[in-house]
């Protein structure tokens, strides 16, 4: 059957022999479980039968013994073997957490929420009671919560209040291989908490690291040679089909492959496609639905389902549900589906080979979201998703040569990201990042650069005296990037807290406007109603205001081509942020019609994100001289003001600024920090 695909496509593939199952072959198989107990989906079988069928169940008692005997343990097992949902329940059933609670961290909020809901169902308890979750801007726990699923960022915030994390007797750092910046900091925090608690004869803290695949020796040696337990997962062979030539436009090649599979494969064999982000996914959802409607008059129904972090919960759950009879699911996902979420029914994986990563350039000081090649480890992890329930196939949109050029492992986020948030949080815990026990130390230049930024933001006394100022303490209280916390604190002084908090809430979610639509022009004219000549920030504020006062919100969004769920999310975040302001004694002021102060507040935090129009028609970032352009989705795309401030830079071929507003150069002089002002003025004068 595979050879059929090999020859039938316009863009050919060549099969590759080794698969993830062989890749994992070197792992010492300490524990084994019986593959024959495997059950497909869980709707038709009882929950307890499903739980017993998971690979981890077969080794439950031995696993508990290991957990009981060691203060730190590393558990490695394939995605779907039951680590995240089962192990915390086993620990709780055996009461190993004693009087404390069990924290289980997840790098993604989606995973924390869906897993907690699943475990609550399995335990037959309403969410928020025995099992709960805490993600940024949402806390569904109570004093009786014993199993608390939370994002790594949330546990880190808890460590700000109590760095010994005394409410937990067991902490599970899950998906440890993802090496998010927060997980990496937590490694050091829990290690330190464990040893201080031991030294002071406090309740002992048990630390468990769980992961699909990772560099075990590195982890084990950092955690004082912690023992490693391998779970024998079930991984069926996956046939790897590598592209014969490289694709300029992998989106098209993916669609061709999808419909080829759809025409030829039996229904109920689902397809999982790995793409880079929400917009790309929504665009492909749209095209795939159109093609399916036009071409597929007969044959099984194709249900096209997106999956990305910002998606509403019910839509995410839709993906996890077993398929309908005689239909096929096509799931278009970000790297979310690589390890943290297990999707039943997948038989085919199509891997674009790309991922969107936040990277930071310490030389230019610029942060950007960059679409780039995945690592080899990710490529195998993605392919493995096709072999969860039986033999499968993975189509790679990249050639053998492109594969060979990939890095072995993804560089940990802490070594490639802007550290100002982490450095601030560590300082709030009384720790200097320069002397912190990192598993992999970030470059000293990055730490120093973060200190410099914090000093510009007046969060620390100086680089030489990295102690938090009162302003710095207030900034650390917000679960936001310090630049945005600074913007909110500036709003306190300028009397526009309500407006600025609304803006920040909108920015912490996804795009408010629906851009992919058959009625592009209608959408554009609907959006025009909200447009502000000053830029995207005030435009977003206008959108939110109109939404907030609409009585029929869904209908309002539909009529105006706005994204209801993103607006709903923003509304939730806004009310949380307003609560936080009240907690910090920040009055909720409003500037009414005099709105210039809103953009002035932006300068107070984002002074490093200014760009100036050049005679040649492009923009140069102030201070770092990078060529950038206004993103076509910005309301300022055609107007090109002389000086702009931006929220982020997205690199897709060109560097595009997003969330752009125009800025009066006069304002900069009054608001940006004095040292930085000199830098800005030098640039502004040079180009006059
Ligand atoms: O953590 P690991 O990848 O080892 O597995 P898990 O997340 O504990 O998932 C074990 C099984 O539970 C999956 O294969 C799914 O069948 C099921 N599950 C589910 O039905 N719904 C969820 N939200 C999570 C897991
Ligand atoms: Mg898991």
pLDDT digits (tens, 9 = 90+) for 308-334: 877 766 777 788 887 788 889 999 999
More confident call, 169 vs 522: 169
Q: Are residues 190 and 297 in the same domain?
A: no
Residue 381 Cα, ligand 2 centroid: separation in angstroms?
13
Of the candidate ranges 194-203, 610-619, 673-682, the one whose mean pLDDT is the lowest: 673-682
Calculate Rg over the CA atoms of the chain: 26
Please state, in angstroms and rounded to a whole number, the distance separating the CA atoms of residues 537 and 663.
12
Residue 45 is predicted with a pLDDT of 53
Would you say 561 and 543 are in contact if contact means Cβ atoms under 8 Å apart? Answer: no
- Protein residue with least CA distance to atom 12, ligand 1: 82
- Protein residue with least CA distance to atom 8, ligand 1: 82
Residue 349 is predicted with a pLDDT of 97
- Closest ligand 1 atom to residue 317 Cα is 23
Residue 264 is predicted with a pLDDT of 92
Please state, in angstroms and rounded to a whole number, the distance separating the CA atoms of residues 79 and 131.
22
Would you say 413 and 439 are in contact if contact means Cβ atoms under 8 Å apart? Answer: no
From residue 238, alpha-carbon distances to 17, 54, 347 in Å are 9, 20, 9
Residue 687 is predicted with a pLDDT of 60
Residue 228 is predicted with a pLDDT of 94
- Range of the structural domain that residue 49 is part of: 31-232
Which residue in 375, 373, 371 sits closest to 651, CA to CA?
371
Residue 361 is predicted with a pLDDT of 67
Please state, in angstroms and rounded to a whole number, the distance separating the CA atoms of residues 48 and 53.
9
From residue 66, alpha-carbon distances to 49, 76, 275 in Å are 25, 13, 39
Please state, in angstroms and rounded to a whole number, the distance separating the CA atoms of residues 426 and 61.
38
Of the candidate ranges 7-21, 51-65, 243-257, 581-595, the one whose mean pLDDT is the lowest: 7-21
In SS3 terms, 510-576 reads as CCCECCCCCCHHHHHHHHHCCCCCCEHHHHHHHHHHHHHHCCCHHHHHHHHCECHHHHHHHHHHHHH
Residue 3 is predicted with a pLDDT of 30
247 pLDDT more than 90: no
Select from 82, 86, 323 the residue to mutate for testing ligand 1; criterion: most ligand atoms less than 8 Å from CB.
Answer: 82
Please say which residue of 413, 430, 461 terminates a domain.
413
Residue 681 is predicted with a pLDDT of 78
> For 221-237, what is the mean pLDDT?
88
Q: Taking CA 452 as the corner, what is the angle to CA 682 and CA 222, rounded to the nearest 5 degrees? A: 145
Q: Are residues 56 and 195 in the same domain?
A: yes
Confidence bin at 36 (pLDDT 50/70/90): very low
> For 8-31, what is the mean pLDDT?
36
Residue 84 Cα, ligand 1 centroid: separation in angstroms?
7
Q: Burial level of 48, CB count in 10 A (0-12/13-18/19+)?
A: exposed
Q: Are residues 196 and 251 in the same domain?
A: no
Residue 579 is predicted with a pLDDT of 94
| Residue 540 maps to a domain | yes
> For 263-276, what is the mean pLDDT?
93
Query: Is 461 strand, coil or helix?
Result: coil
> Which residues on adjacent β-strands are paired with residue 651?
370, 655
Span 588-611, pLDDT tens digits: 999 999 999 999 999 999 999 999
More confident call, 216 vs 141: 141
Residue 51 Cα, ligand 2 centroid: separation in angstroms?
14
Q: Are residues 509 and 557 in the same domain?
A: yes
Select from 44, 46, 55, 85 the residue to mutate for testing ligand 1; criterion: most ligand atoms less than 8 Å from CB.
Answer: 85
Q: Are residues 186 and 49 in the same domain?
A: yes
Count how many Cα atoms sit within 13 Å of the Cα of residue 268 in the half-sphere of its side chain.
9
Confidence bin at 362 (pLDDT 50/70/90): low
| Residue 13 maps to a domain | no
| Residue 16 maps to a domain | no
> Which residues on adjacent β-strands are paired with residue 354?
373
Would you say 83 and 125 are in contact if contact means Cβ atoms under 8 Å apart? Answer: no
More confident call, 225 vs 108: 225
Q: Are residues 200 and 245 in the same domain?
A: no
Q: Burial level of 427, CB count in 10 A (0-12/13-18/19+)?
A: buried
Q: Burial level of 46, CB count in 10 A (0-12/13-18/19+)?
A: exposed
Residue 517 is predicted with a pLDDT of 63
- Protein residue with least CA distance to atom 6, ligand 1: 82
676 pLDDT more than 70: yes
More confident call, 205 vs 43: 205
Q: What is the CATH number of the domain that holds 313?
A: 3.40.50.300
- Protein residue with least CA distance to atom 21, ligand 1: 118
Rank 486-490, 677-681, 683-687 by mean pLDDT and report only the highest.
486-490
Q: Are residues 132 and 170 in the same domain?
A: yes
Select from 53, 80, 172 the residue to mutate for testing ligand 1; criterion: most ligand atoms less than 8 Å from CB.
Answer: 80
What are the residues whose beta carbon lies below 5 Å from ligand 2 (ion)?
A: 83-84
Structure tokens that stand for 294 in this block: 């036009």
| Residue 684 maps to a domain | no
487 pLDDT more than 90: yes
The size of the chain, in residues, is: 688
Ligand 1 pocket: which residues have CB below 6 Å? 42, 54, 77, 79-86, 114-115, 118, 320, 342, 344
Please state, in angstroms and rounded to a whole number, the distance separating the CA atoms of residues 141 and 290.
42
Residue 23 is predicted with a pLDDT of 33
Would you say 380 and 226 are in contact if contact means Cβ atoms under 8 Å apart? Answer: no
More confident call, 538 vs 324: 538
Residue 464 Cα, ligand 2 centroid: separation in angstroms?
42
Residue 70 per-residue DSSP state: -
Please say which residue of 232, 259, 288 terminates a domain.
232
Q: Are residues 249 and 222 in the same domain?
A: no
Span 397-411, pLDDT tens digits: 999 999 999 999 888
Confidence bin at 438 (pLDDT 50/70/90): very high
Q: Are residues 225 and 250 in the same domain?
A: no
More confident call, 510 vs 361: 510
253 pLDDT more than 80: yes
Which residue in 293, 329, 328, 333 sits closest to 310, CA to CA?
333
Confidence bin at 46 (pLDDT 50/70/90): confident
Q: What percent of the chain has pLDDT over 70?
A: 90
Which residues, at least 6 apart from 247, have a Cβ–Cβ distance to it below 8 Å? 11, 253, 397, 398
Residue 510 Cα, ligand 2 centroid: separation in angstroms?
25
Residue 553 is predicted with a pLDDT of 96
Would you say 203 and 197 are in contact if contact means Cβ atoms under 8 Å apart? Answer: yes
| Residue 456 maps to a domain | no
- Closest ligand 1 atom to residue 85 Cα is 8
Q: What's the number of domains the chain is made of?
A: 3
Residue 29 is predicted with a pLDDT of 26
The number of beta carbons lying within 10 Å of the beta carbon of residue 435 is 7
- Protein residue with least CA distance to atom 7, ligand 1: 84
Please say which residue of 361, 390, 413 terminates a domain.
413
Of the candidate ranges 70-79, 166-175, 492-501, the one whose mean pLDDT is the lowest: 70-79
19 pLDDT more than 50: no
From residue 200, alpha-carbon distances to 193, 286, 452, 483, 621 in Å are 10, 59, 36, 37, 51
Residue 104 is predicted with a pLDDT of 98
Residue 142 Cα, ligand 2 centroid: separation in angstroms?
24
Question: Buried b / exposed e across 93-125, counting CB within 10 Å, b at 16+?
Answer: eeebbeebbbbbbbbbbbbbbbbbbbbbebbeb
From residue 486, alpha-carbon distances to 105, 570, 635 in Å are 28, 19, 25
More confident call, 296 vs 398: 398
> For 375-392, what is the mean pLDDT?
91
> For 419-433, what is the mean pLDDT?
94
Q: Are residues 257 and 290 in the same domain?
A: yes
- Between the two ends of the chain, the Cα-to-Cα distance in Å is 66
Residue-averaged pLDDT of the chain: 87
Residue 162 Cα, ligand 1 centroid: separation in angstroms?
31
Q: Are residues 193 and 243 in the same domain?
A: no
Confidence bin at 28 (pLDDT 50/70/90): very low
More confident call, 1 vs 416: 416
Residue 363 is predicted with a pLDDT of 61
| Residue 64 maps to a domain | yes
Residue 167 Cα, ligand 2 centroid: separation in angstroms?
23
- Closest ligand 1 atom to residue 388 Cα is 14
| Residue 443 maps to a domain | no
Residue 32 is predicted with a pLDDT of 27
- Closest ligand 1 atom to residue 114 Cα is 23
Query: Is 43 strand, coil or helix?
Result: coil
Residue 176 per-residue DSSP state: G
Structure tokens that stand for 672 in this block: 């940006």
More confident call, 248 vs 105: 105
Which residue in 472, 652, 500, 474 sits closest to 591, CA to CA?
500
Of the candidate ranges 13-22, 76-85, 159-168, 392-401, the one whose mean pLDDT is the lowest: 13-22
Residue with tokens 């209608």: 522
Residue 516 is predicted with a pLDDT of 65
Residue 366 is predicted with a pLDDT of 66
Q: Are residues 186 and 259 in the same domain?
A: no
> For 58-80, what is the mean pLDDT?
93
| Residue 20 maps to a domain | no
Of the candidate ranges 318-322, 503-507, 536-540, the one whose mean pLDDT is the lowest: 318-322
Residue 315 Cα, ligand 2 centroid: separation in angstroms?
20
Structure tokens that stand for 78 in this block: 């394939």
Would you say 102 and 132 are in contact if contact means Cβ atoms under 8 Å apart? Answer: no
Minimum-distance ligand to the CA of 54?
1
Q: What is the CATH number of the domain that holds 606?
A: 1.20.120.1080
Which residues, at least 6 apart from 74, have a Cβ–Cβ distance to it below 8 Å? 176, 208, 209, 210, 211, 216, 219, 220, 223, 226, 227, 228, 229
Q: What is the DSSP string of 483-505?
A: HHHHHHHHHHHHT-HHHHHHHHH
């Amino acid at each position: 059957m595979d050879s059929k695909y090999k020859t039938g496509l316009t863009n050919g593939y060549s099969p590759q022999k080794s698969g993830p199952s062989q890749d994992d072959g070197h792992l010492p198989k300490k524990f084994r479980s019986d593959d024959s107990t495997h059950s497909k989906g869980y709707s038709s079988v009882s929950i307890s039968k499903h739980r017993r069928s998971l690979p981890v169940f077969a080794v439950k008692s031995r696993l508990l013994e290991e957990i009981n005997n060691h203060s730190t343990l590393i558990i490695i097992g394939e995605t779907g073997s039951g680590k995240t949902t089962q192990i915390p329940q086993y620990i709780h059933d055996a009461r190993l957490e004693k009087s404390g609670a069990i924290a289980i961290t997840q790098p993604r909020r989606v995973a924390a929420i869906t897993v907690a809901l699943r475990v609550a169902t399995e335990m037959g308890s309403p969410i928020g009671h025995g099992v709960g979750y805490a993600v940024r801007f949402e806390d569904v726990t109570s004093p009786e919560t014993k199993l608390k699923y939370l994002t790594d960022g949330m546990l880190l915030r808890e460590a700000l209040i109590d760095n010994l994390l005394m409410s937990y007797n067991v902490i599970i750092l899950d998906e440890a291989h993802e090496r998010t910046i927060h997980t990496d900091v937590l490694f050091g925090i829990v290690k330190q908490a464990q040893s201080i608690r031991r030294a002071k004869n406090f309740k002992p803290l048990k630390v468990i690291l769980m992961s699909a695949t990772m560099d075990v020796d590195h982890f084990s040696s950092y955690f004082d040679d912690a023992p490693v337990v391998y779970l024998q997962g079930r991984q069926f062979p996956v046939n790897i089909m590598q592209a014969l030539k490289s694709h300029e436009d992998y989106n098209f090649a993916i669609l061709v492959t999808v419909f080829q599979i759809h025409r030829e494969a039996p229904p109920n064999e689902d397809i999982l496609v790995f793409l880079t982000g929400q917009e790309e996914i929504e665009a492909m959802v749209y095209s795939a639905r159109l093609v399916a409607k036009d071409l597929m008059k007969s044959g099984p129904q194709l249900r096209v389902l997106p999956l990305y972090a910002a998606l509403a919960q019910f839509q995410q759950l839709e993906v996890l549900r077993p398929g309908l009879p005689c239909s096929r699911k096509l799931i278009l996902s970000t790297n979310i589906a690589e390890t943290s979420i297990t999707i039943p029914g997948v038989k085919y994986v199509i891997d674009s080979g790309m991922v969107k990563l936040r990277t930071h350039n310490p030389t230019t000081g610029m942060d950007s979201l960059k679409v780039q090649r995945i690592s080899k480890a990710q490529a195998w992890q993605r392919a493995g998703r096709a072999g969860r329930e039986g033999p499968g196939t993975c189509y790679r949109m990249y050639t053998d040569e492109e594969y060979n050029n990939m890095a072995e492992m993804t560089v940990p986020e802490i070594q490639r990201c802007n550290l100002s948030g982490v450095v601030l949080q560590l300082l709030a815990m009384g720790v200097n990042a320069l002397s912190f026990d990192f598993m992999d130390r970030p470059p000293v230049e990055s730490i120093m650069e973060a200190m410099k930024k914090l000093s510009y933001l007046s969060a620390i006394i100086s680089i030489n005296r990295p102690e938090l100022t009162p302003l710095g303490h207030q900034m650390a209280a917000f679960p936001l990037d310090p630049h945005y916390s600074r913007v909110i604190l500036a709003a306190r002084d300028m009397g526009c807290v309500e407006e600025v908090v609304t803006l920040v809430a909108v920015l912490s979610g996804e795009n408010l406007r629906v851009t992919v639509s058959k009625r592009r022009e209608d959408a554009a004219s609907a959006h025009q109603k909200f447009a502000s000549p000053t830029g995207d920030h005030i435009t977003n504020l206008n959108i939110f205001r109109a939404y907030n006062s609409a009585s029929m919100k869904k209908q309002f969004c539909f009529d105006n081509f706005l994204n209801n769920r993103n607006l709903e999310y923003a509304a939730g975040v806004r009310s949380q942020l307003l609560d936080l302001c009240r907690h910090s004694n920040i009055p909720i002021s409003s500037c009414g019609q005099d709105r210039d102060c809103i953009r002035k507040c932006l300068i107070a935090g984002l002074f490093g994100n200014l760009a100036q129009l050049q005679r040649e028609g492009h923009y140069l970032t102030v201070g770092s001289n990078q060529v950038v352009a206004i993103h076509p989705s910005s309301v300022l795309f055609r107007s090109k003001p002389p000086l702009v401030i931006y929220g982020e830079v997205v690199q897709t071929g060109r560097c595009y600024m997003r969330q752009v507003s125009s800025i009066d150069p006069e304002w900069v002089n009054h608001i940006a920090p004095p040292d930085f002002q000199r830098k800005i003025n030098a640039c502004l004068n040079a180009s006059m």
